[in-house]
Amino acid sequence: MGLWRTEVEEREEGDSKSDKLFLMLKPKRVAKTDAGEMRVLESYGGRVLQRRLNIGFITMEPRSLFIPHYLDSTLIMFVRSGEAKLGFMYKDKLEERHLKMGDVYQIPAGSAFYLVNIEKAQKLHVICSIDPSESLGIDIFQSFYIGGGAHPASILSGFEPEILETAFNVS
């Protein structure tokens, strides 16, 4: 007995609960550069434990950086292959963790983090569970890059220029 039931089992029982299925359609590319990419699959037609779930795939070239990033959802990372250094803010301090193949690490919603592929010759592959239940209440997650521009949007793009000038003491 498991959490998921197949369509055949449901048809045999006369129970059409398509809302229990987790359908994985074509992944949406969130970011792509010469150094790697991030793609996200959204759950369609179903929920896990009564909430939507997204699955992310991060691929990074050797010696590359996943630029500092802010996510409004809890992120659970599984290192499928390679080794990485994960940096994040915790209690106003920069914390760093060394992650290797098979490691699982959780980044709480609202945390800023970065990821570095520390391998010299191997790509880094990370699979992520993205739980948008703690996001802005719209059942989807939003990600913001701390560095960046218009696409993908920088987290700073949400502030008026005057506020940024004052905050950074520039004109």
Residue 16 pLDDT > 50? no
Residue with tokens 């502030």: 159
CATH of 24-142, one of 2.60.120.920, 3.40.640.10, 2.60.120.10, 1.20.1050.10: 2.60.120.10
Strand order in the sheet with 83-90: 93-100, 83-90, 112-117, 65-71, 143-145
Per DSSP, the three-state class of 5 is coil
Q: Residue 147 carries which DSSP code?
A: S
Of 13-17, 108-112, 120-124, 132-136, the least confident: 13-17
Tell me what pLDDT residue 146 has.
Answer: 61
Which pair of tokens denotes residue 4?
Answer: 């998921």
Domain boundaries, the chain: 24-142
Return d(Cα 66, Cα 48) in angstroms, integer. 28
For the full predicted model, state whether its pTM sits above 0.75: no
Mean pLDDT of 101-116: 90
Q: Quick one: average pLDDT of 1-11?
A: 44
3-state SS class at 70: strand
Structure tokens that stand for 70 in this block: 């802010």
| Local structure of residue 49 (DSSP, 8 states) | T
Characterize the bridge pairing of strands 74-81 and 104-107.
antiparallel
